[in-house]
Every structure is written in structure tokens, then in C-alpha cells.
Amino acid sequence: MRKKIALIGGGQIGQNLAMLAAMKELGDIVVLDVPDYVNPVKGKALDLMEMAPHGSYDANITGTSDYKDIEGADVAIVTAGKPRVAGMSREDLLSTNLKIITDAANGIKTYAPKAFCIIVTNPLDAMVYAFYKLTGFPRNQVVGMAGTLDTARWRSFIAMELGVSVVDVAGTVLGGHGPDMVPLPRLTTVGGVPLVEIASQEQIDKLVYRTREAGTEIVKLFGKGSAFFSPAFSAIIMAESYLRDKRRILSCAALCEGEYGIKGLFIGVPALISAKGVEKIFEIKLSDEERAQLQKTAEGVKKTVGETKL
């Protein structure tokens, strides 16, 4: 029997998630959105079904506004929410998107209580925390997409700056999904060569800044809306690692319960994603400067989470 994937939100990210999940043949897909948007979602689902012969994938893709249709889902990816627009911070989104994440949490808890849940909605660090508190799911069952995307951006910018293949760039980004995130140049390599040996300090500083401001850079370019290709693929590789027990170690917003001296917060850390969900968090030995940066981003996440009042 095929696995079942529930996509909560059928906008730009949701439609890309549906296409990627279908092309990877991860399972049957249900795209859910509000009643006012259900016909466009059904249209997107039908369009993807009509693409299947050329895409050579077998998947049943449907659109709905009824949470009953996600019953028994193995994975739920939540993207529903208002996108950022130019001049808006992630925190500005909190009150509006908290109501949306509450509806998603209640629907998934009722109809797909065993699903591995990946939260993409911004402000991500607060939304994944809110979803976790509202559902009462175990910590291994809930995760935020953030660090996976932040690390992809970090790797991309390094490859662009140095004129090398992105495949050869390895590194990670810790912390909250915002301007205080913590790229780790010291532990980043290009084809096994340490980044600090092939890039100047000026280049590294520029790359760190660009990574921290990556989401804002795209928002400014779009004028309205935010990134959708890269967040979708970031969430899909997390879902794939769970569904196929690939056991990938990915930076993602996992619940820390003492790791890195952080307790009770979802924050970007390297985590093993397996068929058990978030199976393990890995603690990197950080320098004093890196640890101070991580503590700063944790304080920012704590402040935002406090505004949820959960």
C-alpha cells in the first residue's frame, strides 16, 4: 500500500511540494486548503495527474478542504499561512498565522495522529512550537523545516561566490530561522578543503550576512510573497528521509531538551531523520564565539515563542 502525504496549504509551496512528492513517488497526496480556495487546489491536483504520463510517476493526487480526507496520513507538511511581504518581519506574521496553525494542529490531531509533521509556516520557530504544544505529539513526531533550507542557502551562496559545484560544498547552519542564525564557516568544506583556507574573511563575512538575510532578499525581489521552490524541496527531503528511512542528518528545527544548553525550544540543530522521526540530535563542539551566537539566536526564538502564550 502506498504511503499517504497530507499537504496543509495549497499555495506556491504546497503545489511545489505536491509535484516533488509525486515525482519522487513518495505516496498518494492530499492537498488541503480553505473552502474559498478549494477549487484552485483541486485544479492543481488534476493538472499534476495529467502531467503523470510525462513525469512517469504513479500517485493519486487530490484537493480538498475537508480534514477527513487526510485521515491516516503518514506525513503532514504544513505550509498554510500568510506569506511575508516587503517590509514585514516574520514576527509580524505571528498573530495571523497562529490562528491558522491552530486549525491545522486540530485537524491533524483528529485525523492523522500518527503522522510525522513538518512545519514550514512562518515565523517558523514559533509556529512549530505552537503546533507541538497544541497537538501534544511526542518530540520525535514534530519538526520545523528551517535549518534544512538555511543550510541549502549557505551552500548555494558559497558555490556561487567561489565558482564551484554546490555538490562539493558541505556545511551546516544552526539556530533560529531569522537574522541571528548561525552558519559555521569553521566546519564548512569545499571538496574536503576547509572554507577558511580558500575564502577570504571578507568573503566569509559576506556569505554569512547573505545567508542570514536570504529570505528577506527574496521577499524584496518578489515585492509580494516569499520563497517557494527551495522551502518545498527542503521539506520534501525531510519527508523522504522519514518515509524511506534514509537516516539523513539534516539541520532542522528540532525540540531541544538540554542539547546545546537549550531547553524547551525548537531550534535549528543537526538531527537524524529516520523512520522513527527525529531520532537523535547531534551536539557539535562549538567555539566560545559560536556558542555565544547560538545563545543569542536562542534568546530571540524564546522571545517569539513567548508571544504565542502557549
For 80, what's the count of Cα atoms within 13 Å in the CB-facing half-sphere? Answer: 26
Residues 152 and 98 in one domain: no
Model pTM above 0.85: yes
Cα–Cα dist 282/260, whole Å:
9
**Do 7 and 32 form a contact (C-beta atoms < 8 A)?**
yes
Cell triple for 4: 499517504
Look at residues 146, 175, 204 and tell me which one is the last residue of a structural domain. Answer: 146
Q: Residue 214 belongs to what domain range?
A: 147-306
Look at residues 100, 129, 146 and tell me which one is the last residue of a structural domain. Answer: 146
Q: Which range, 95-99, 123-127, 183-187, has the best average confidence (pLDDT)?
A: 183-187
Residues 135 and 213 in one domain: no
Residues 269 and 163 in one domain: yes
**Do 22 and 57 form a contact (C-beta atoms < 8 A)?**
yes
Cα–Cα dist 184/203, whole Å:
14
Domain count, the chain: 2
Residues 135 and 209 in one domain: no
Q: What pLDDT does 112 receive?
A: 98
How large is the average pLDDT for residues 44-54? 98
Q: What pLDDT does 85 receive?
A: 65
Residues 94 and 183 in one domain: no
Higher-scoring residue by pLDDT: 270, 92: 270
Q: What pLDDT does 82 receive?
A: 83
Of the candidates 84, 100, 96, the one whose C-alpha atom is nearest the C-alpha of residue 32 is 100
Cell triple for 18: 505536491
Residues 140 and 166 in one domain: no
Residues 173 and 288 in one domain: yes
Note the pLDDT tens digit of each residue in 77-99: 999 998 766 666 656 678 889 99
In CATH, what number is assigned to the domain containing residue 53? 3.40.50.720
Look at residues 101, 130, 146 and tell me which one is the last residue of a structural domain. Answer: 146
Question: What is residue 169's DSSP assignment?
Answer: E
Note the pLDDT tens digit of each residue in 224-246: 888 999 999 999 999 999 999 99
Cell triple for 269: 540543530
Residues 173 and 30 in one domain: no
Note the pLDDT tens digit of each residue in 17-33: 999 999 999 999 999 99
User: How much helix, strand and coil, in percent to the nearest 5, is found in the chain?
Assistant: 50, 20, 30
Alpha-carbon dihedral sign for residues 289, 129, 250, 211: negative
Residue 61 has pLDDT above 70, yes or no: yes
Residues with catalytic function: 177
